[in-house]
Amino acid sequence: MRVVIAGAGNIGRYLSVDLVNRGHEVTLIDSSDAALDKVPDGGTNLLNGDACAPKVLERAGTREADVVIAATGDDEDNLVISLLAKQEFAVPRVLARVNHPVNEWLFDDSWGVDLAVSPPHLLTALVEEEVSTGDLVPLLKLQRGRVELLEIRLDAMSPVIDKRVEEIDLPPNVTLVAVVRDGHVAPCRGTTPLTEGDELLALVGEGSIDELRERLVGDRHTTR
């Protein structure tokens, strides 16, 4: 897979190294030589330039890219990069970093963004993941917030313990995607049994979070 990343900050550098280690072809763009110098040697293609400029994106091979990641520390730049990637270069998948949550509403398909990621919200989710048991933790918003990826950690009080997935009366616009157990990830199938300590990943449509909580967690928590 060919990936173009704009922004060689901490996030951009980490992504580039991780993706290269996974066997992908990565080009990292930044206008700062100092930032690019911090990228570890090991296969990342480095390009000095302004990723908001179409000529720079062209030189980076954006036209042949499968994914573009706008990961700069500036929301305006990330929006411009996303729009160019989608409209000028027809990139199939565009991901964008949201630095300030107040701007999150802008990061949608009208700006060419397929998936917006907000580091502050991810940090909140990670904190909640560490301290929450028996509740729903939001991990990611999709489709302009109309769909959420949630994590549900089952405890001994969950009404679905020792049941199979097919025995759970789920809301119609909820899909259980995977179960994480003892460090192993497995797809959720109808015959999948649920046990204490399981972590479920679910895609949840609008208006279904409270109902899903009731089905999987019970009525111990105040609805939101």
CA angle 29, 69, 101 (to 5 degrees): 115
Check residue 103 and give its pLDDT.
92
pLDDT tens-place string over residues 50-83: 999 999 999 999 999 999 999 999 999 999 999 9
Q: How far is CA 187 from CA 45, 153, 171, 211, 213, in A?
A: 35, 16, 19, 22, 20
CATH class of 122-216: alpha beta
pLDDT tens-place string over residues 88-104: 999 999 999 999 889 98
Structure letter (DSSP) for residue 219: S
Closest CA to 38 of 49, 53, 25, 28: 28
pLDDT tens-place string over residues 128-187: 444 444 567 777 777 767 888 888 888 888 999 999 999 999 998 999 999 988 878 889
Check residue 122 and give its pLDDT.
58
Is 3.40.50.720 the CATH classification of the domain at 2-117? yes
Provide the percentage of residues in the chain whose pLDDT is more than 70: 90
Cβ neighbours around 133 below 10 Å, total: 17
Q: Any idea where the domains of the chain sit in the sequence?
A: 2-117, 122-216
CB proximity list for 39: less than 8 A, separation 6 or greater: 8, 13, 16, 17, 28, 46
